[in-house]
Amino acid sequence: MDVLDAQFIAGATAIGQLPAPTFAEVAFAGRSNVGKSSLINSLVGRKKLVRTSSAPGCTRAINIFRARLRTESGEAHLDLVDLPGYGYAQRSKAERRSWGPLIEGFLRERPGLRGAVVILDIRRGAEDDDAQLIEFLESVEVTPIIVATKIDKLPANKRKPALAALGAQLGRRIIAYSSVTGDGREPLWKRLLTVSSIERADAPA
């Protein structure tokens, strides 16, 4: 994928503060520190567009970034929405969902939102709140795209079995990713373009 440029558009800690959507949007959600912001940087080929940190809970706001793309059928724009991480604060087991009103409100109410990338750590797999997020996305008709990231942290011979186990657990296709090596970038871009209707599902790779 040819990303011609990428820029920060807006950030907000309340949904009402966000500008109305202008272009197709996909959101990026996942547990705190799983690598959401790094994944966006890796997708757009910029090291520091989005702030990342080894301390969990780095992203507390909703931040929108706009990528200008050169696709098979010409130039296109896609807005990438970095959501705050969930599952960081200690919560009682009784409180089953940890992803909170800001994330839920955005996913439920954002007009025209077509897809959301749910990012999992290949070494941790899907936990309860991840599985609930995937179900929630389906209930609000936002297509979940499941990505297992940090695959560079597993030895090569452990990657396939880990992906197969995760695929079987969730009953879905998983895209393997590494923001360090860029593995998975092209298949994920292809999926983002089809989910956001920028390209048809049968377009050439």
Ligand X SMILES: Nc1nc2c(ncn2[C@@H]2O[C@H](COP(=O)(O)OP(=O)(O)OP(=O)(O)O)[C@@H](O)[C@H]2O)c(=O)[nH]1
Interface with Mg ion (CB under 5 A): 36-37, 58-59
- Asked if 64 and 191 count as a contact pair (C-beta separation under 8 A), the reply is no
Least CB distance to ligand X at residue 204 (A) = 28
d(CA 43, CA 188): 8
Choice from 7, 13, 17, 53 touching ligand X (CB under 6 A): 53
User: Which does residue 152 bind out of ligand X, Mg ion, none, counting CB within 5 to 8 angstroms by kind?
Assistant: ligand X
Minimum CB distance to ligand X smaller for 79 or for 82: 82
Least CB distance to ligand X at residue 185 (A) = 11
User: Which does residue 92 bind out of Mg ion, ligand X, none, counting CB within 5 to 8 angstroms by kind?
Assistant: none
- Asked if 187 and 175 count as a contact pair (C-beta separation under 8 A), the reply is yes
Q: Is 100 in the site for ligand X (CB under 6 A)?
A: no
**Which residue in 36, 26, 32, 29 sits closest to 150, CA to CA?**
36
Q: What angle do CA 140, 141, 147 make, to 5 degrees?
A: 100
The tokens for 17 are 């503060």
Least CB distance to ligand X at residue 202 (A) = 30
- Asked if 154 and 122 count as a contact pair (C-beta separation under 8 A), the reply is yes
Q: Is the dihedral of CA 52, 53, 56, 57 positive or negative?
A: negative
Stretch of 8-16, 93-101, 144-152, 161-169 contacting ligand X, by CB under 6 A:
144-152
Least CB distance to ligand X at residue 147 (A) = 10
User: Which does residue 131 bind out of ligand X, Mg ion, none, counting CB within 5 to 8 angstroms by kind?
Assistant: none
Secondary element (H or E) of residue 80? strand 74-82
Choice from 43, 44, 87, 179 touching ligand X (CB under 6 A): 179
**Which residue in 165, 187, 164 sits closest to 175, CA to CA?**
187
Q: Which residues bind ligand X (CB under 6 A)?
A: 30, 32-38, 52-54, 56-59, 85, 149-150, 152-153, 178-180
